[in-house]
């Protein structure tokens, strides 16, 4: 369980809090609007109405005690910058800031953000890959030109074993799990044979995934 501060309760902030609460994290929600805080009151440990660009207010939060501080402000980039800067000055351990455009990233990092997320852009990229590639079941981008894909088993693999295909030695891919009839299989020997209807979750370099699984993205 982590202690989390979320500043800015728009759509991103709301869904972020929803997921954090399901994980059992302790959450302090902050926004300048009582109306925006109301929908999350049942999901957070506590909430405060206040101006996150006010130094005295930020100091009063004890930001150094939170494991992660999210700056989820989406409608005022200047406020996001000022809030990020104040959090860093007041000793925040780790700051994640939201950006809507790539150009905003360097400014947020320069003012103290440890990480920057692009909710709309990242969702658009995921959706394009997930729904425009016929055999992709799920997809997770990984730092450094690597990805994790769950795909329908290629036709050429059906009836063959992992060893015959040479997934690791020839294709340079790592199988993380296999799903058969909706049931995940996490342990599989080299002679495991693929069947029609199986899906496989693989990890590898983007270039190897594109080449050997026919994924275009």
Split at pLDDT 50, 70, 90, the class of 188 is confident
Per-residue pLDDT averaged across 145-156, rounded? 88
Burial of 61 (0-12, 13-18, 19+ CB in 10 A): buried
Q: Which residues lie closer than 8 Å to 61 by C-beta, 6 or more apart?
A: 5, 28, 30, 48, 90
What would the CATH number be for the domain defined by 122-213? 3.30.70.1450
Q: Looking at the domain covering 3-117, what would its CATH class be? A: alpha beta
Share of the chain above pLDDT 90, in %: 62
Per-residue pLDDT averaged across 192-214, rounded? 90
Domain parsing of the chain, residue ranges: 3-117, 122-213
Residue 123: the pLDDT is 62
Burial of 177 (0-12, 13-18, 19+ CB in 10 A): middle
For the chain, the residue count is 217
What confidence tens digit (pLDDT) does each residue in 18-64 have?
989 988 999 999 999 999 999 999 999 999 999 999 999 999 999 99
């Amino acid at each position: 369980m982590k202690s989390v501060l979320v500043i800015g309760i728009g759509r991103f902030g709301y869904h972020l809090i929803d997921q954090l609460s399901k994980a059992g994290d302790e959450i302090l929600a902050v926004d300048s609007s009582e109306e925006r805080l109301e929908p999350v009151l049942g999901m957070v440990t506590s909430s405060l109405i206040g101006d996150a660009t006010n130094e005295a207010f930020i100091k009063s939060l004890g930001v150094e005690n939170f494991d992660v501080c999210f700056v989820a402000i989406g409608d005022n980039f200047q406020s996001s910058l000022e809030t990020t800067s104040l959090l860093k000055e007041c000793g925040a351990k780790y700051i994640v800031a939201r950006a809507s455009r790539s150009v905003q990233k360097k400014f947020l990092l320069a003012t103290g953000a440890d990480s920057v997320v692009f909710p709309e852009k990242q969702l658009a990229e995921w959706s394009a890959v997930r729904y425009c590639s016929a055999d992709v079941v799920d997809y997770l981008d990984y730092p450094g030109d690597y990805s994790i894909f769950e795909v329908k088993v290629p036709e050429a693999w059906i009836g063959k074993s992992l060893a015959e295909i040479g997934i690791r030695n020839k294709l340079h891919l790592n199988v993380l799990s296999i799903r058969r009839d909706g049931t995940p299989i996490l342990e599989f020997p080299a002679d495991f044979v693929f069947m029609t209807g199986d899906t496989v979750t693989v990890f590898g370099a983007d270039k190897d995934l594109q080449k050997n699984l026919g994924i275009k993205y």
